[in-house]
Amino acid sequence: MSKVQALTSHIKSKISKSASQSSCYSLYNATNNKTRDKIQFATPEDIQQAIQDASSAQERWHRDHTPTQRSEILQKASYILTGRSDEITAHEVKDTGRTISEIKSYDVPAASRCLSYYANMPSILSNGTYHDIDHSFAYVKREPIGVTAGIGAWNYPLMNAVAKSAPSLSFGNSMLFKPSELTPNSALILADIYEEAGVPPGVFQVLLGDGSVGAELVASPSIGKVSFTGSVETGKKLCQIKAAAESNNFSKMTLELGGKSPFIIMEDADLDQAVTGAMQANWYSNGQVCSNGTRVFVHESLKDEFLERLVERTKLFKIGDPMQEDTEVGPMVSENHMNDVLNYIEIGKNADKAQLLYGGERVFSSLEDGFYLTPAIFSNCTDDMKIVQEEVFGMLMSVLTFQDEDEVIRRANATQFGLAAGIFTNDIKRAHRMANHLKAGNVWINNYNLGPVELPWGGCKHSGVGRENGSYDAAFEWTMGKSVYVEMDDI
Ligand code: NDP
């Protein structure tokens, strides 16, 4: 067997221990359940050293580079990232199990665009505001927060790393980024790209490890802002860690958490479009998307026709090796996660007693021992079922019916989550009226799961606080205001 080299954190100072002296973790290939890379966890000494280095690097990054110079560097990073598209795609497919066609067509171009978008942002938004006050005047500057931290989930590792670091660095902060232990590669490549583009060492560092590494960042009084993407459960833990460290930690925190979003099909919708939308809202990324519209509310008059077309089209999905261009569904990210999803399918069948119309099975034939599942469609669902209430984060769609608009709005909002919602209708007034009443951070009308960088992204209720992306939202999230009053009279 060939010796597997351990991946190590990308930090400015030398790593404190060799792989044999510190904890390591094996990464499995989701397509065949075989070991591939090993990762070496950052030690507490590495983390503390990286925080110190991030602090001195940030001061120089802000003081010695004008917004225009930072902008040029980030723009260059965007070009380099596009040039390394094939390499990044291959790693991202292996790490996540998501298909090559998705990652090539969405993740890499979106990451490059995000870098380009924030490259130009500080020169527009850092200028602040000017105020005449009596005979004097004042101005408000937007200044960097200092050292920031990003903690990412495993489903969109590259996008998590870029969506957090591009605005942070662009506004003059430094960032310590902890990717999920399942998906470390794209953040490490991003660190190389930033350095090649001219970002000074220490401004963007990657710390590898499990949740304990993230917990140290959250507790650190030297970190001014944490941007977290992950589950509601971990988000709650972060709040507790911060509260326990509250005597010396008043940092800002953004939480991008899970969801159980409603996808609503009104009686006047274009049914084929609605079926396409529902599939996009449930099967994309093997069902592992936070904003997925997994509670599909279909008007009772359309139910039979909808289900027939949905099952027919879902059966045609090509499940297989995610490195093949024509594959539409790859493996789940890990064995544990696959088992969690299978467990929910059992609950749906046996405890909830919903009707499993199609799928929900592990697929083995010619796919080695990978973590492959067929998409599961449950009908005859009710609001109180566990599969309807809880986030599964896999290909499990629950189909519910309704009779009128007021009823569906009330039931769509009756959840602890508030990340996203979708409405399919051809009545434009109704579409806007419903969008007004849905309690969610993102609402799509006649489409689903789009997240252009121009639009702020985030949730309400247990789906989180704060926003990523957008222009003004990003400026407020990644900077702090400084008011300067200038007295023009004697006092
Ligand atoms: P987790 O909450 O398990 O993990 C997220 C990150 O937090 C990982 O890097 C994890 O490290 C780290 N972590 C775990 N425990 C702690 C801790 N105590 N302190 C600090 N950090 C910790 O989420 P998943 O990775 O499983 O991602 C899936 C979840 O993310 C779903 O609920 C999904 O809805 C949500 N999500 C939300 C998005 C949004 O924009 N709202 C976008 C994408 C996903 P490690 O992996 O090494 O344990």
Task: Tell whether 146 is covered by a domain.
Answer: yes
| Residue 452 lies inside a defined structural domain of this protein | no
Let me know whether 110 and 226 are in one domain.
yes
Measure the CA–CA gap between 413 and 418, rounded to whole angstroms: 8
Residue nearest to atom 40 of ligand 1 (CA): 256
* Domain region containing 383: 262-445
For residues 79-105, give the mean pLDDT: 97
| 210 in the same domain as 290 | no
| 95 C-beta closer than 6 A to ligand 1 | no
Token readout for 439 is: 């309690």
Q: Which atom of ligand 1 is nearest the CA belonging to 152?
A: 9
Q: Which helix (H) or strand (E) holds 191?
A: helix 185-197
Tell me whether residue 487 is one of the annotated catalytic residues.
no
Residues 299 and 284 in one domain: yes
Residues 164 and 283 in one domain: no
What would the pLDDT profile of 234-273 be if each residue is shown by its tens digit?
999 999 999 888 666 788 999 999 999 999 999 999 999 9
Contact by Cβ (8 Å): 181, 39: yes
Both 117 and 203 in one domain: the answer is yes
Structural domains counted in the chain: 2
Tell me what pLDDT residue 365 has.
65
Question: Rounded mean pLDDT of 144-156?
Answer: 98
- Any catalytic annotation for residue 164? yes
In the prediction, which pLDDT does 246 show?
A: 63
Kindly report the protein residue whose alpha carbon is nearest to atom 12 of ligand 1.
211
| Residue 450 lies inside a defined structural domain of this protein | no
Active site residue 381: no
Does residue 59 lie within any of the structural domains?
yes
The CA radius of gyration of the chain, in Å to the nearest whole number, is 24
Strand order in the sheet with 464-465: 204-206, 174-178, 147-151, 225-229, 252-256, 464-465
Q: Determine whether 277 is exposed, middle or buried from the number of CB atoms within 10 Å of its CB (0-12, 13-18, 19+).
A: buried
Q: Are 287 and 259 in contact (CB under 8 A)?
A: no
Which of these is catalytic: 290, 328, 439, 461?
290
Integer angstrom CA distances of residue 167 from 10, 83, 458:
20, 21, 16
Same domain, 46 and 79: yes
Same domain assignment for residues 202 and 297: no
Same domain, 266 and 247: no
* Reported pTM: 0.96
User: Which of 234, 249, 285, 340 is the pocket-test mutation for ligand 1 (most atoms within 8 Å of CB)?
Assistant: 234
Query: In which band, very low, low, confident or very high, does the pLDDT at 3 lie, cut at 50, 70 and 90?
Result: low
Give the domain CATH number at 296: 3.40.309.10
Each residue's pLDDT tens digit, 283-296: 999 999 999 999 99
- Is 216 a known active-site residue? no
* Within-domain flag for 451: no
Asked whether residue 491 is domain-assigned, the answer is no
Report residue 382 as tokens.
């009710």
We report the CATH number of the domain holding residue 161 as 3.40.605.10
Instruction: Supply the pLDDT for residue 1.
Output: 42
Same domain, 350 and 412: yes
pLDDT of 114 higher than 70? yes
User: Can you tell me the mean pLDDT for 302-316?
Assistant: 98
Instruction: Give the pLDDT confidence score for residue 486 in this predicted structure.
Output: 97
Same domain, 236 and 300: no
Check if 178 has its Cβ closer than 6 Å to any atom of ligand 1.
yes
The pLDDT tens digits for 156-179 are: 999 999 999 999 999 999 999 999
Residue 37 in any domain: the answer is: yes
Q: Is residue 489 one of the residues assigned to a domain?
A: no
The DSSP code for 485 is E
pLDDT beyond 90 at 208:
yes
Distance CA 136, CA 358 (A): 71
Statement to judge: residues 236 and 293 lie in one domain: no
256, 328, 405, 477: the catalytic one is 256
Average pLDDT over residues 362-370: 79
DSSP letter string, 294-321: -EEEEEGGGHHHHHHHHHHHHHT--BS-
- Are 468 and 438 in the same domain? no
